[in-house]
Structure 1
């Protein structure tokens, strides 16, 4: 199994209630039901307000590197990423577990 973690930081001046953000969150929340490669899926806003904290997180798992590739290339995933590019940056980690 491979854990796929993503931490998102909203761009300066962008708020959680921005309509673009609301649409992006909805797109990512739907992925768990849309992409069969996902064995585990959760995403949520961070509750920490520490200066080093990111704003939104995805914690997911797929079976192997081939499944990860299919997930990353899935049209629903690429559409969600395109939305988030407009208002956030992110970091990722993919590791076996």
Structure 2
């Protein structure tokens, strides 16, 4: 199994309640049921307010590197990521468990 973690930081001046941010969140929430390779899918806003904290997180899992590649290349994932590129930056970690 591979864990795929993503942490998002909203760009300066961008707030959670903006319509484009809400659209990005909904696009990610929909991926859990849209992409069959995902065996685990969680995404949510961070509930803490610390200077080093990121704003939004995805915690997901897939069976193997081939499934991870299919997930990353899936059109729904690409479309959701494109939305987030407009208002956030992110870091990822993929590891076997």
Same fold (TM over 0.5): yes
Unaligned ranges ≥5, structure 2: none
Q: Aligned-pair distance for 1:76?
A: 0.3
* Superposition TM-score, scaled by structure 2 size: 1.00
Runs of 4+, deviation exceeding 6 Å: none
Q: Aligned-pair distance for 1:65?
A: 0.2
Count of paired positions: 97
Pairing 1:24–2:20 present: no
Aligned partner of 1:62 in structure 2 is 62
Aligned partner of 2:2 in structure 1 is 2
Unaligned ranges ≥5, structure 1: none
Q: Which aligned pairs between 1:81-96 and structure 2 lie closer than 5 A?
A: 81-96=81-96
In 2, Cα distance between the equivalents of 1:69 and 1:45?
25
Q: Aligned-pair distance for 1:40?
A: 0.3
Q: Which aligned pairs between 1:44-59 and structure 2 lie closer than 5 A?
A: 44-59=44-59
